[in-house]
Amino acid sequence: MSEIMHHTLYDGRRVAFRYTHGSGPCLVFLPGYMSDMSGSKATALFAEAQEKGRACLLLDYSGCGQSAGDFADGMLSRWRDEVQALVASYVSGPVLLVGSSMGGWLMLLVAEHLKDRLAGMIGIAPAPDFTRWGYGEEQRAALAAGETITEPNPYGPEPTPTYAKFFADAECHLRLDSAIDLTCPVRLLHGKADADVPWETSLRLKAVLRSDDIQVTLVEDGDHRLSRDSDIAALKAIVAEFYR
């Protein structure tokens, strides 16, 4: 792995990232909610990029991992701007966006700004609009009233919080109810045993994207993380399609 660097945005935010130079489209990995660039999928793709001489960018959103800030201030708009700032500052040429879970929602927002620079998008259990389908009516009402809600965290001892600020911002970025004007090649990978993001979400996303080059791969026994050796091998095979 390359050393961790930091980029300072216009307002003083310092975002941690790793970048390796190389050929082909630059793979930009967007982690999920409360995740960071140290995850198994991100590190596996970065290591492969280094091995094969491909460009790759990993990052921690502000308030996550090794980036400065408070997670409670996190929003899709804020994190989108951080991704765009890093791409604008360090990446030349086409971009291959890879978004995991919430990163698959953020991927769409970043892609709408990159447009002609997009080589493609890869969604891993993408979770666009999860503030609509992922919470019950009481939870949504509490968030709309400015409250913080917490849920059990299957991946750690601390409960997972959702803040009203994140919820209010996310409601401005819903994408599944209308056509998404993105025409680049798209690959979606989703486990049918995903207990967090229903696999049908990938089919809903496929239906609203304008691209005529979309493939959905469903892993029969795959969970939400899709981090087994076989899952990562499947992901690497999908990534390889963009470097032929």
Catalytic positions: 101, 194, 224
DSSP string, 58-124: EE--TTSTTS-S-GGG--HHHHHHHHHHHHHHH--S-EEEEEETHHHHHHHHHHHHHGGGEEEEEEE
CA-to-CA distance for 39 and 72, rounded, in angstroms? 21
How far, in Å, CA of 224 to CA of 201, rounded? 12
Contacts of 160 (CB under 8 A, 6+ apart): 33, 34, 150, 151, 152, 153
| Integer Cα distance of 41 and 229 in angstroms | 10
Burial class (CB in 10 A: 0-12, 13-18, 19+), 92: exposed
Decide: 182 and 203 in contact? Cβ < 8 Å: no
Cα distances (Å, whole numbers) of residue 38 to 1, 5, 69, 230: 10, 14, 18, 19
